[in-house]
Structure 1
């Protein structure tokens, strides 16, 4: 989920106003933008390099490149589109990616081009970037030296459109891709206020990524004179959920996708509403020690949190588990606590309407219907590569990607899926800096997965079979931050036998 819950490291020039009540805002602004027709998808590799504009001019006539459906946009010709330049120029927000990447992740540079910031019609106001106080914000980056491809992304958790800049955008831009990202239409810890019906805020996430993809494809064609030869969709956590949903529901827009620990939603579970209440009930007993601690630890293991992950539990209890349960339960089941909004923080079991006692299976049918509106089926229509860390203790792998891999197989789409379980990976890559002897970041694995997907699409080269990727014995923090081999090795054989694919 990757919620932004810690204070931002620097002040924002425009304070965030209170979020507005549920308003159905996206429904009024979306139709016109969604009416923009998608360009025909052209087959072929994303390898052709485009020269600069005629006459060698850098970013010639940036004002002529319009994003269809945008209510507002501003174009900037930049000497550097990666964070090597955008941090200093103010064309990104480092607070937006805080906690998502290891400190040793390389920062590529040498990517001049055009950046377009803007927003689509919307009436919710949680995103304060640029002082716009307007949601449905996006960023589109168009490198001068283009490889013919486009990568689109939604953001993790409740973050804004720059959240993927270090983990994803830097890498794909350095390889010549155009890049576009959306804030998903609502942001912040009160995202659940957007919309009228339970689930509306998350429903909007999916529509906003579809909207951006169509608009970005047209924008790329206007900038370079031809549509992208490949369109890839990718994202982390909630962004990974969007990848799955897009390839299930709009495969015609994409050639393939990379899903990095995507959130699993299915009306029959498991979802975070099934396993997080168990953590809220049992972790305090485990952390206190004494009588009942062993039984509480066993209950956490049963809920899906693997043995060996105990060293991560206290951090996640403090930062993620309670807040995530309350916010997403409020979005999908606001009636559980009546007029109280998003429950009572860290309430003890037995407290009225306490999320520690939440029982999804016992809730009214309307709750299941809300989850069904955002649910996944496994019926992907284009190639998908999934990555998930074995030590993820926000979305435990046995309750998430292991299950989704089985769903894909059951739907008869297993030939379109590769699933790599990353030993020692956890949900937030920055934790690898805190525990370099126990964890590895997933960012370099995502970079490798993107290249594997490219080969799969352009040369019909079959990617490595799904398996568990072992943690290298001779690892160092610096090397693990920038390298990740996903090919099967002899050392991965036994682990691969337990892979649910």
Structure 2
């Protein structure tokens, strides 16, 4: 996509000044930024920066852009719309027209799954610094096995338009073979948490250097695995954040439930009423039955194989591996034993591996959780329902709000195929984020836990109220 730039000496000078401020961040006390705008006259090519503008980064490159949002960046090296596939409903309106600076880079890492920018280096990140800053910072990690640009349309565009700086990480490994990272079971997932903490600290310093003052508020948020990261960060590093929004975060507990307790039933799912009863007993909502054939083809087998390989590689040493194949069909055929997997009977070492990444519910900052009642990948009954009880068990319920989205499922893109049965969660997520900031910044208590009903009419792609 062609990016139009206003050619002016003044804006180019302002951009250069801002980039020099970024380059000075390695100093103990960075000088205040002489300007908070990079202007529209900057070159489209990346700008090489001396020094260490992002603390701890091994490599970084910054560029001034007339628009940091997906609408303008699609087709450029500054986002990856292919990695966003299926996450948003067709026709979702995206904010645009947010000028600023984008910094791409990576932290030192030994794995090479992420080929973005041709770097073939993991622990990649993106930091976006809007020209008009509201004093806040939003941090997220990639959902699923995706990379750092995965939530540009879902999260980045809107928070940038509201004036927040934004930072996202690939979590330190990505792709269906992420389990190959690390030396012992659980290492790869444990790295997700470490990389999110690392980026948050670095982004806070980068923001402080660029704008001349530290962020007044830092929010953690994410979808799916990004929701898990949000829960974990607010439990383990509440000092870094002011609050968070957890969009259907994955739940890990040492004794279950988790993906390893619900997915085996789905992998071996049989047709007929007996199969439906087994699925319901495993936590899958009977109303989501129309989504099961698709998830059986696209999600369940691959997901079970990948996470079981990460946390319990000794269960079937022949799967995964090169013999497992590369297509979904080949993987399912080679990993058929995953359908008989019984987490409860696995050795204590497996449970200890899960315990390393497990959640406790002991959040230290305000958290809003949203989950669709028709989620057919992370069933709400064995995920957020349980996490809500865990938070209450830690006596932290005053810090938590839990909203069930009627008709919501794991990926909003499925709404396009079933508009009569589903509703996108994104509008409710945006409303929840607004409720969080009002809670944190103005003391406006969000509504009590409840189900957000699917309206009989109206624009469900763009409209949702968390108080209805």
Structure 1 and Structure 2 fold alike (TM over 0.5):
yes
Contact 1:155 1:182 in 2 (8 A): yes
In the comparison of the two structures, how many residue pairs are matched? 432
**1:344-376 alpha-carbon deviations (Å, 9 max, x no partner):** 676999999700000000000000000000000
Aligned equivalents of 1:51 and 1:84: distance in 2? 28
Moved over 3 A (4+): 36-39, 54-65, 342-353
Q: Which residue of 1 aligns with 2:346?
A: 363
**1:162-213 alpha-carbon deviations (Å, 9 max, x no partner):** 0000111011011110000000000111100000000000000000000000
Q: Which residue of 2 aligns with 1:219?
A: 206
Aligned equivalents of 2:109 and 2:350: distance in 1? 26
Contact 1:180 1:216 in 2 (8 A): yes
The correspondence for 1:485, drawn from 462, 465, 468, is 465
Q: Which residue of 2 aligns with 1:3?
A: none
Pair 1:349–1:205, CA change in 2 (3 A):
closer
The correspondence for 2:282, drawn from 296, 299, 303, is 303
Pair 1:245–1:294, CA change in 2 (3 A):
same
Q: Which moved more, 1:147-156 or 1:302-311?
A: 302-311
Pair 1:62–1:457, CA change in 2 (3 A):
farther
Pair 1:59–1:118, CA change in 2 (3 A):
farther
Q: Which moved more, 1:427-436 or 1:333-342?
A: 333-342
Q: Which residue of 2 aligns with 1:210?
A: 197
Contact 1:67 1:216 in 2 (8 A): yes
**1:220-266 alpha-carbon deviations (Å, 9 max, x no partner):** 00000000010000001000000000000000000000000000000
Contact 2:38 2:101 in 1 (8 A): no
Q: Which residue of 2 aligns with 1:428?
A: 411
**1:100-151 alpha-carbon deviations (Å, 9 max, x no partner):** 0011111211100000000000110000000000000000000000011000
**5+ long unaligned stretches in structure 1:** 1-35, 40-49, 287-292, 489-501
How big is the alpha-carbon RMSD for the aligned residues of Structure 1 and Structure 2? 2.5
**1:40-69 alpha-carbon deviations (Å, 9 max, x no partner):** xxxxxxxxxx99927985699994781111
2:173 pairs with 1:186: yes
Q: Which residue of 2 aligns with 1:156?
A: 143
Aligned equivalents of 1:167 and 1:331: distance in 2? 28
Pair 1:165–1:38, CA change in 2 (3 A):
farther
2:289 pairs with 1:323: no
The correspondence for 1:389, drawn from 358, 362, 372, is 372
Aligned equivalents of 1:346 and 1:303: distance in 2? 24
Aligned equivalents of 1:234 and 1:37: distance in 2? 30
Deviation at 1:338, TM superposition (A): 2.2
The correspondence for 1:453, drawn from 436, 444, 447, is 436
Q: Normalising by structure 1, report the TM-score.
A: 0.82
Aligned equivalents of 2:440 and 2:28: distance in 1? 20
Q: Which moved more, 1:331-340 or 1:351-360?
A: 351-360
Aligned equivalents of 2:333 and 2:206: distance in 1? 55
2:271 pairs with 1:271: no
Where does 1:379-418 land on structure 2 (aligned, <5 Å)?
379-418=362-401
Where does 1:237-276 land on structure 2 (aligned, <5 Å)?
237-276=224-263
Q: Which residue of 2 aligns with 1:11?
A: none
Q: Normalising by structure 2, report the TM-score.
A: 0.88
Q: Which residue of 1 aligns with 2:313?
A: 334
Contact 1:68 1:219 in 2 (8 A): yes
Contact 1:80 1:86 in 2 (8 A): yes
SS at match of 1:134: coil
SS at match of 2:286: coil
SS at match of 1:231: strand
Contact 2:36 2:210 in 1 (8 A): no
